Structure 1
Amino acid sequence: MSLVRLNIKGISYSQTQNGAYALILNEVDGDRKLPIVIGAFEAQSIAIALEKEIRPPRPLTHDLFKNFADRFDIVVKQVIIHKLVDGVFYSSLICERDKIEEIIDARTSDAIALALRFDAPIFTYKNILDKAGIYLKVDSKKEDKDKPSEDSILVDDILSGELEPAVSSEDFSSKSLEELHKLLEEAVANEDYEKAAHIRDEISKR
């Protein structure tokens, strides 16, 4: 079976399903998306790895795993999403130590959180993408001036087959750069990484 490489397109939350997050993987050489519903902790860990400017004051579980692996010269070479059963994705970590390769079973959310920290590529098999891959389209009529232009994929959008921009819970446009940097430091110190991500986006726009 042929492998298909995937990139992370986005991660966001459900406005109707409390605690549900969606991770969207994008086919590198195609338009299909692979949606995976994940937990809040794993979503936070992946989001932190994606936001390079956000540094947690203490290492999270996946950071600890990375530090442990580095200390003992273990490298995660790649992640393969190899099975889909009853809507549950199964993944493997392809690891290497002393030129010996090992395959370790892992939850897909954990595997991707680690792949980001090791800069390891993510793959799935073509038959899984054929079975679970979807196409998401942007409905420009639903966009308005109060919504950010960047696409953000929600769990609700997956269920409805649509893609809408997400609405930030707080408006930072009136803040100065100095105020934004201070708010960013406070958000990270309080481990409010979702707020920190919104602030970082506003800083990037400036």
Structure 2
Amino acid sequence: MPQVRVAGVALDQTGQHVLLIKPVDELPGAGSVLPIWIGELEATSILVAVQGAVAPRPLAHDLMRSIVDATASRIERVEITRLEEGTYYAEITLETTAGLRVVDARPSDAVALASRVGCPLWVSDAVMEEAGVPDLTADEGSTEESIDEFKRFLNDVDPEDFRG
């Protein structure tokens, strides 16, 4: 199970937000990236956390972090565990006073929360193998050409392409 990071958030040709997840040990333009289609609010929340921005009022994921802190708990890890019929599933592992607890979550919420607390993020090998695509963001050609090629990929791919 590779440890991953948020490589970015992009828009596909229809204007839908795509979360891009990449193994931490792979350089830009190498290996693969995992695209996960998410909602606009989740994309904003992830970008706020990744960029270290401060929202004028707490977002839902800030509230989640506050609840975890207030209950003397800690988020140990987040895992994107499986892909079934085009839907990704994730789990948040919490360290609580009652022991470890695993909570089912949407990947976008889990990643937004992980980005706020700095816990490790993982993706199952099966998910990376099934839905990972070549990372074309920084190939041997110019960076601009590689980014254009990746944008063309996003324009041509559809979330339905990942249905089992």
Q: Distance in 1 between matches of 2:37 and 2:148?
A: 15
Q: Distance in 2 between matches of 1:45 and 1:141?
A: 31
> Structure 2 matches for 1:28-67, cutoff 5 A?
28-30=24-26, 31-52=31-52, 54-67=53-66
1:34 maps to a residue whose letter is: L
Listed as ranges, the gaps of 5+ residues in structure 1 are 162-206
Q: With structure 2 as the length reference, what TM-score do the two structures score?
A: 0.81
**Unpaired runs of at least 5, structure 2:** 158-164
**Structure 1 residue 12 corresponds to structure 2 residue 10:** yes
CA RMSD of superposed structures (Å)? 2.6
* d(CA) in 2 for partners of 1:38, 1:83: 16
Bigger-Rg structure (1/2):
1
3-state SS, counterpart of residue 137 of structure 1: coil
Other structure's SS at 1:8 match: strand
Query: Would the alpha carbon gap of residues 43 and 62 (structure 1) be closer, same or farther in structure 2, given more than 3 Å must change?
Result: same
Shift of 1:142: 8.7
Encode CA deviations 1:29-50: one digit per residue, 9 max, x unaligned.
3421111010000000000001
Asked if structure 1 preserves the Cα contact closer than 8 Å seen for 2:8 and 2:20, the reply is yes
Question: TM-score scaled to structure 1, two decimals?
Answer: 0.66
Are the counterparts in 1 of residues 79 and 121 from structure 2 also a CA contact under 8 Å?
A: yes
Larger proportion of strand: 2
Equivalent residues of 2:89, 2:105 under 8 A apart: yes
User: Kindly tell me: are residues 134 and 97 of structure 1, through their superposed partners in 2, closer, same or farther at Cα, counting changes over 3 Å?
Assistant: same
Q: How much has 1:118 moved relative to structure 2?
A: 1.2
Looking at both structures, which has the greater relative contact order when contacts are Cα pairs under 8 Å and sequence separation is at least 6?
Answer: 2
